[in-house]
Amino acid sequence: MDGARAKDGRSLYSDWPWDPGIAARSGQGVSQGWRQWKMGVYAAPTNSGLAVALGGGAVSAVFTSPPTPVADTPAALARYAFNTDVEQNWAKAQVKWGPFHESAVDFMNADATDLSRFTRRGGKILIYHGVADPVFSLNDTIRWVQAVDQVEHGQADRFLRLYAVPGMNHGGGGPATDQFAAFDALVAWRENGVAPGPLTATARQGSPWPGRTRLLCPYPLQSRYVAGDSEQAQSFHCVKP
């Protein structure tokens, strides 16, 4: 869970949170478990991991400068994925090239911390991130939010909210309460000036607990059980950690 490192120990990417969602296996009533991304569907006869099927193409075509030609076949993508030198590929992602003289990092990383032009136009940002996202680390997103808040002198919550979803995979799925009206909250904030607070999230059919509801709290608040039915969101409050 420490993240990719160079040979000299430098961190190339973030560490990862320990979350129960990493134990989820697709094929056990859980949509897109951690295993499906890393190794593939449970008990599949061949490697069907999305890290190979999607990651091999994305890394070779998008995250190297210039792109590395790789055939769009399972065998070719697997060879590329398993033989990639992570440190060398990280360096390739920094190379500026082409008519725009940009690297993959230049146009793919949404990591600016000065958002003043955006906020002057009344912009609002609502981010949700699965704690068990196997592609991008929640810890990395939290550090970005903290960096923006530092630039904003502790006032970033006037335009920025982050919701961490325990157990949730990459944008959805996993053993999680991953159904919630984030877009409605964003519209109410931008158009009506109603800043979003806790969101009620529901576990979908096919999850270990269909119909369960939980509170999603804006970072850094955390949901804590208070009293009542533990399957219902109203039994929880958002508190400071």
* Residue 29 in this model has a pLDDT that exceeds 70: no
For residue 115, name the pLDDT band (cuts at 50, 70, 90). Answer: very high
For residue 114, count other CB atoms closer than 10 A to its CB: 10
* 161-184 burial code (b ≥16 CB/10 A, e <16): bbbbbbbbbbebbbbbbbebebee
Mean pLDDT of 7-34: 81
Residues 6 or more apart whose CB falls under 8 angstroms from that of 109 comprise none
Q: Each residue of 176-193: pLDDT tens digit?
A: 999 999 999 999 999 999
Q: Is the pLDDT of residue 50 over 90?
A: no
Asked if the model's pLDDT at residue 32 lies above 70, the reply is no
pLDDT of residue 173: 86
Residue 163 bridge partners (DSSP): 128, 218
> E-assigned strands of 67-194?
125-130, 160-165
Answer whether residue 119 shows pLDDT above 90: yes
So where are the chain's domains? 20-107, 116-239
Q: pTM of the predicted model, to two decimals?
A: 0.91
pLDDT tens, residue by residue, 132-150: 999 999 999 999 999 999 9
